[in-house]
Structure 1
Amino acid sequence: MSGVGQNDWDPGIYHRFRGQRLRPALDLLARVGPLPKGDVVDLGCGAGDVASALHLRFCETQKARLIGVDRSPAMMQQARALDVYDRLDEADIALWTPDEAPALIFSNASLHWASDHQTLLPRLVAALAPGGTLAVQVPHQNNAPSHRLWRTLADELCPGRMDDVDLPSVLLPAQYYHLLETMGDVRLWETDYFQKLPPSEDGHPVRCFTEATYARPILQAMPDHESERLVRAYDELIPKAYPLSADGSALFPFRRLFFTVVRAGHGAPAP
């Protein structure tokens, strides 16, 4: 996770939906091909949810080092306890640079918290070893009711609170393609995950899912009485977009954007 000047992440709240959040990461990992020699970097590693899969895939077979990078002290504490990473760097993912050219920069659900992708993404690709891969997954959900409703209600109920809030955002898929196409082989795709969110005693499951991530900076920008009012209003309206099943669960379509870039140049592994 990348810090954006807000309070630290809460790993417990984030991991209430660990299975739903991990599936896209594993799908992205499955699309990474052979790698040259070099480190494997888990950029925006959070609590290390993908660490074991990365280690099994690349470090045990290719003897690559696994390096985690994240800005959240709370998340890094959990990642450190896994004892899987060879090194953990507490750093802003938007500013991080590797000591040596890595074979893989793997970024799952983190780069949408970093700004200026037009500069950041080419810099990450250029940092790779020739034939190395940048693999990225970001939510592409900002125009869905789950996310729009937070912004609409915040503007209506808490005027002015959103003025200085930096919300996660991404470019259009075609913008990423044209930004990176001259740097190597670009593969880009989207997937809609129809997730069954379990019932929650705390409120609507979609609210519980989104308040831990997308709505986090919105809620942190206002005093408790305003955030509580916003949450109540969201819970009241969100069932119109995501009706509850008889058991209190909710079917939640969530779109993810994926792309990989294999850096051009000599040193690429044989297919």
Structure 2
Amino acid sequence: MKWDPAKYVQFDDHRNRPFFDLTGRIHADRPARVVDLGCGPGNLTASLAERWSEAQVVGLDSSAEMLARAARLAEVVPGLSFEQADIATWMPTGETDVVVSNAALQWVPGHRDLMRRWLDALRPGAWFALQVPGNFNAPSHSLMRELAASDRWSGKLGGVLRGGETVGEPGDYLNILLDAGYAADAWETSYQQVLQGPDPVLEWVRGTALRPVMGVLGSEDAGRFESEYAAALREAYPSGPHGTVFPFRRIFAVGRKRG
């Protein structure tokens, strides 16, 4: 699945806020190595390097397109580097002090089991922080799944989209951290995002949730699917005098390993 960095950062004000709400709860003092799992275009990873200026900060992502954009930041921000890697096969090294994953683990099947292995491998005093979208049962996603499962599209899109089981609830991640011996906190926030322009919710999901569908369909079918889906989104998220309100639930968990 290819990513479009320009499309992804189109709503960067809204997409960036959960990252800072998450990392604001990490109270590491002088970490030696910080890893950002699923770093995307790297702009948020760069903020970690600026915060912890003495640390080696590494952003990992599987997308060559995202990393090509991120590479520009590594040239100007001291201590910052990026690597192409699959989160599903990554393991922390012994000197890793902080692991951050912001809006990435929802793309990794079995990520809760991976998380348990990562937590076990981190050394005492290390921090782990994650944020995942909690909106898989929202109209933006349920309407997409319903359309994909319709007679017209199921032959081409069967099994492409996942449902509410994609991520856990805050309590699931809290218990994983506690069971691993971490002092932990988990919470959720629903951001009432006000989007502007025509079909803004469609524009939003084009950068993320819609990409698996577009990766399967040819250009003609993709246009037809988008047209049908956009009509359903306009009804679910009507435009108002201030724009289109798009509620977005996010799930957070942060922990520090005891010992």
Does TM, scored on the shorter chain, surpass 0.5?
A: yes
Letter in 2 for 1:234: Y
Tell me the CA shift for residue 136 of structure 1: 0.5
Aligned letter for 2:226? V
How far residue 180 of structure 1 moved from its aligned partner, in angstroms, is: 2.6
* Pick aligned residue for 2:168 from 153, 160, 171: 171
Q: Give the structure 1 partner of residue 248 of structure 2.
A: 254
Q: Offset of 1:161 from its aligned partner?
A: 2.3
CA gap 1:15/1:37 in 2 versus in 1, 3 angstroms = closer
Give the counterpart of 1:22 among 11, 16, 21. 16
Tell me the distance in 2 between the aligned counterparts of 1:79 and 1:33: 25
**1:234 corresponds to 2:225:** no
Question: Is 1:181 matched up with 2:178?
Answer: yes
The amino acid that maps onto 1:70 is: D
- Count of matched residue positions in the alignment of Structure 1 and Structure 2: 252
Aligned counterpart in structure 2 of residue 41 of structure 1, from 19, 35, 39: 35
Aligned to 1:264: 258
Residue ranges of structure 2 left out of the alignment (5+ in a row): none
> 1:159 deviation in Å?
1.6
% of aligned pairs identical? 35
Hey, what does 1:128 align to over in structure 2? 122
CA-to-partner distance for each residue in 1:86-112, whole Å, 9 max, x for gaps? Answer: 332210112112333311001111111
Using a 3 Å threshold, how does the CA distance of structure 1 residues 101 and 166 change in structure 2: closer, same or farther?
A: farther
Contact 1:35 1:132 in 2 (8 A): no
Partner of 2:210: 215
3-state SS of 1:50 partner: helix
Shift of 1:36: 6.0
RMSD of Structure 2 on Structure 1 (CA): 1.8
1:101 aligns with 2:95: yes
Deviation, 1:171, is 1.6
Q: Which amino acid aligns with 1:172?
A: E
Distance 1:86 1:173 in 2: 31
Query: Equivalents in 2 of 1:23, 1:32: separation in Å?
Result: 15
TM-score using structure 2 length = 0.91
Structure holding more helix per residue = 2
Structure 1 residue 205: Cα displacement = 0.4
Tell me, in whole angstroms, the C-alpha distance in 2 between the residues paired with 1:118 and 1:42.
17
Counterpart residue type for residue 185 of structure 2: R
Q: Deviations over 1:115-167 (max 9, x none)?
A: 11232111221232311111101100000001111111111130222334254
1:173 is aligned with what amino acid? P
The alignment status of 1:65 with 2:51, answered yes or no, reads no
Match of 1:245 in 2: 240
Q: Structure 1: which 5+ runs fail to align?
A: 1-5, 266-271
Letter in 2 for 1:182: D
TM-score by length of 1: 0.87
Residue of structure 1 equivalent to 2:66: 75
Return the offset for 1:206.
0.4
